[in-house]
Chain A
Amino acid sequence: MECEHRVDIKKRIKNLLFFHEPRVERPFILTEDSEAGKYDPGTDKGRAGPESKKNEDLLLKKVKKIKLTKKKESPADEEKSDISKQLSENLNVIEERFSVPLNGDLIIRKFDITVKDSVIPAFLVFFDGLVNTKVINDDILQPLMLLSNLDFKSDRDDVLTYIRSHILPHNQLKEARTHQEVIDMVFFGGCGIYIDSLDVAFVADVKDFPGRSVERPNNELVIRGPQEGFTECLRGNTALIRKRLMDQNLISEDITVGRRSKTPCSILYIRDIANSSLVAEVRRRLKSIETDHIMDAGELEQFIEDNPSLPAPQIIATERPDRVCAMLTEGRVAIIMHGSPFALVVPITNSDIIYSAEDQYLRFPYSNLLRVIRVLAVLMSLLLPGIFLAITNYHHEMIPTDLMLAILSDREKVPFPSVVEVFLMEISFELIREAGIRIPGPIGPTLGIIGALILGQAAVEANIVSPILIIIVAVTGLGSFAIPNFSAGFAFRILRFGFIILAALSGFLGITVGLVLMGLWMVNAKSFGVPFVSPVAPRTTGGFSDAVFKSPVWKQEKRPDFMNTKKKRKQAHISRGWVNRGASAQQSDSGNKNE
């Protein structure tokens, strides 16, 4: 027994110490030749299982609902129909599925349609509050109940066609062949119309969700540039993008996420720019999510990101439609989720997290100044307390004597080691920050003042911390606020504590080790198949027009190489035609003709 145990331990140690052939994993890598597997909706349909396809089919139909109403249904769909020709059966099914006596906000409106001389009973089903009742009254109930006995001009046998093409003037009408379809639509603001003697139901899209109107983005403020932000409404959000990006190849694919919630999402991309395999990968990841409910894009982000343990975010969440549009034109893919005012954009590289939407709108010297400041902000937010600790504990010779004497006299009365001081201040800073977010609105700013001024001042006067440390922590805090990406700010805040510990343990050696480890971590990471630190490592050409520093807009001729887009060039070599005098002469010829 013991022997066995020993063998086990031996094996374990051997396992730990000796080399193992790494398990061959095939992660998704975005390469240029991944264009080969172009997406074809037909083949994709074939590949996926029938069950998971169901929802998608439903949505695909939803996209094409207007088209669908015009053409004959395919026989495949007809087979699935479980809607009875008996209205009372349908009513029973619906009442059962919606737990009618319990659900107070479900409205079932029964009425009769008079077609010529016959009376056909029918009912509507919808949720109060999700729909626009005026549209139901005017465009559905009124024509069905009042106008239906006008003159018949076509063949009277086909009630279905007649109702669809003559009586229901509503613009978004589709036919459903299963109860499930109807129910899903009703939950998404539809109005189901069951008519006796028909084995299909009509679903009219009359949704009118309560929600915000378009407002200024709250978290990504810019001075120049559009001032619109996403809201919680999916269609509103896609509309905000379409409004800006008038490109016929902009695709907004619908997909649902969540087994029970069936939250509608849209995958947006420009078909002839974005790499097809990237789009397919996004689609694959979204489809593969097996969870009951999903509430926000923040949750979705965690389901589809590559490295859950990497501190830096690998997906950009933005509430600015203009930023999404700019990224779509670079060949990225955006995911918009119903109920979340944030769009997710993939893939990203590490430089994207220090960009702001404004960079592109400002003249390039200005945005480069901002970029330099942000890089400094990152460095300060990450390293400043660590460097302070390293210097005051290990490398006294590195600071000017005057400064050292000043620190010395400040620290003279402080009873704690400097690492305790740093932790005290950092933790109280994080406290102030967290409290500032949680506290009810009107008190918020006051708390900031209390925290920043009074606490700091009092701590210094009580000789608990030295004044220079207040400066360090304040500058560090400012640095972390200057990082435009909210998630990245978190990443640096967490890592900062790591660097503080490393610096307290072994000074600059520790910081160096930390930076090396962090670098390894970063170069190893990928965001949707794109190496996280490209275009620096792996080094690619053409990615540098907007990497750390920004070239003038007219010089950004190519899309980033690491996106492996279908079209590399986004503007002509000479994008400002007027600078070329020869060419302008030619142009002016044609201009003269016009005159």
Chain B
Amino acid sequence: MNKGKLLAIFIMLGAMCPVMTSCFDAREVDDMGFVIALGLDKGKTNALRMTLQIAKPMAGDNGGGGGKDDELPYAQFSVEAPAIYTGLNMINTFASKQISLTHIKVVVFSSELAREGLGPYLRAMIRGREFRLNMPIVVARSTAEEYLKSVDPKLVLNAAKFYELVYQSYRYTGLIPKVEFHDFYLAAESNCRNPVAILGNSGRFLTAEDFDIDNSTFREHGRSAPFEGDFLAGDIPGVGGARAENIGLAVFDGDRMVGELDGTDTIIHLLCTGDFVHSYWTVPDPLSEGYYVLIDVKQSRKPRHHVEIVDGDPVIHITLNLEGDLLSVQSAVNYEVGENSLTLESSVESLVKEQVSRFLDKTISEFKSDICGFGQHARKLFTTWAEWEAYQWKSKYKDATYTINVNFKIRRPGLILKSEPSISSEGRSDDR
């Protein structure tokens, strides 16, 4: 290689340097403020009030002091702005670090905003590459600011982990729906199903003396006392941990919120969509009045949906397949074998059937919103997309009728193979 060529190559390399200025967007981690939760409320002075929770550097790992238990692991900022990105800009004027949304764990809307329609915000979020597509969407019954303020994680060191874990609890309680932002957006835009959001609120009660069940929905379910799911967010009689409660779901029609459902209905919703994993159910004892049987219920297989159009109206057939393990038989009735177990199974089946039909009635007549996505199973009945669009499923859903088929089997009795009543000086408890 001659000298001239070498020189020319160096000149070309030099000329290429500007091409490599991609490092201009390099940012050190410690130069960024990572938003872990974003709350959106209706603003007082502007369209939006944005609340940002920004993670603080991990407390307690420097210097071994760590005696700041009362200090929150995040800093909360609020600003009023016309739109999300405007708000980010404004917060950057008084937050020292550049705001980054790449680690955002949850977006909370106030129900007031949700009832007006979330379209504008959803579209901003889906376009921005920093919003994670798998983050959950929460609707706070009061305001998002208050909800976020009441997040004070007791069991984990940082709030990000709290959010990561708490919205996964549908896997073992079934009391909140499974919501991911991307899916939420798709459902809101879809013509065959409607989205739901997690219903959240800060708890009403500060001490155990204040407990009441005035707002519980147990009467709607025809019960004498509230079961675990018979509450909406904020009404659970409980204290400790974070005051932010998540139970139930917010029903949407398109991008507008139209109603709320409690925890029990959320379980049914999960059953119908097939996202149910397992949870503990309280079932009234069919043979012994006043006692309960506790069952760990799983889906043995995904629900089967079949939709017909009869005289222009949809008819939905649902088959749910469930199985359960006995957790507790308070009455000591021998439900493990034979006739008794069949009795228990059929009683659970009728109970589920009753709950599902109540839930479907509610979505059909009250909310007129297909949140279970039955429309997806109706599409195949139409030969062209135009015909399907012309049918307008979402508006026909209010005229839908349904049949429900539930199969429930008791699989395992737990560690006790045969229930026996306890024996006291007065004889066996069931002889008394």
Contact = CB atoms under 8 A, between A and B. Distances in A.
Nearest to B30: A411
8 contacts: A394-B25, A394-B26, A396-B100, A397-B103, A401-B105, A411-B29, A418-B29, A506-B23
Interface stretch (A12-20, A450-458, A563-571): A12-20
B27 interface: yes
B20 interface: yes
Nearest to A502: B20
Interface of A: 12-13, 15-16, 392-394, 396-397, 401-402, 404-409, 411-412, 414, 417-418, 504-507, 509
A393 B30 contact: no
A373 to B, nearest CB: 30
Interface stretch (B54-62, B222-230, B421-429): B54-62
B61 to A, nearest CB: 6
A205 B28 CA distance: 71
B29 A401 contact: no
B132 interface: yes
Interface string B23-42: 10111111010101000000
A405 B57 contact: yes
Given A411-B29, A412-B30, A412-B57, A12 B103 contact: no
A408 B100 CA distance: 13
A393 B26 contact: yes
A6 B26 CA distance: 42
Given A392-B29, A418-B28, A504-B23, 18 more contacts: A15-B5, A16-B5, A16-B8, A392-B28, A396-B34, A397-B102, A397-B103, A401-B160, A402-B158, A402-B160, A404-B29, A404-B34, A405-B158, A408-B58, A409-B62, A505-B20, A505-B23, A507-B26
A331 B130 CA distance: 57
B4 interface: yes
A139 to B, nearest CB: 60
B55 A401 contact: yes
Nearest to B60: A409
Contact of B103 (A394, A401, A411, A504): A401
A436 B132 CA distance: 48
B13 interface: no
A460 to B, nearest CB: 11
A414 B57 CA distance: 13
Contacts of A418: 28-29
Contacts of B5: 12, 15-16
Nearest to B22: A506
Contact of A393 (B4, B27, B34): B27
Contacts of A406: 58, 61
B377 interface: no
B331 to A, nearest CB: 46
B154 interface: no
Nearest to A16: B8
B189 interface: no
A504 B36 CA distance: 26
Nearest to A413: B62
Contacts of B105: 401
Contact of B55 (A15, A394, A405, A507): A405
A404 B103 contact: yes
Interface in B109-133: 130, 132
B103 A407 contact: no
B17 to A, nearest CB: 10
A504 B20 CA distance: 11
B12 A16 contact: yes
A189 to B, nearest CB: 46
Given A13-B8, A406-B61, A409-B58, A396 B158 contact: no
B36 to A, nearest CB: 7
B32 to A, nearest CB: 6
Contacts of B25: 394
Contacts of A407: 29
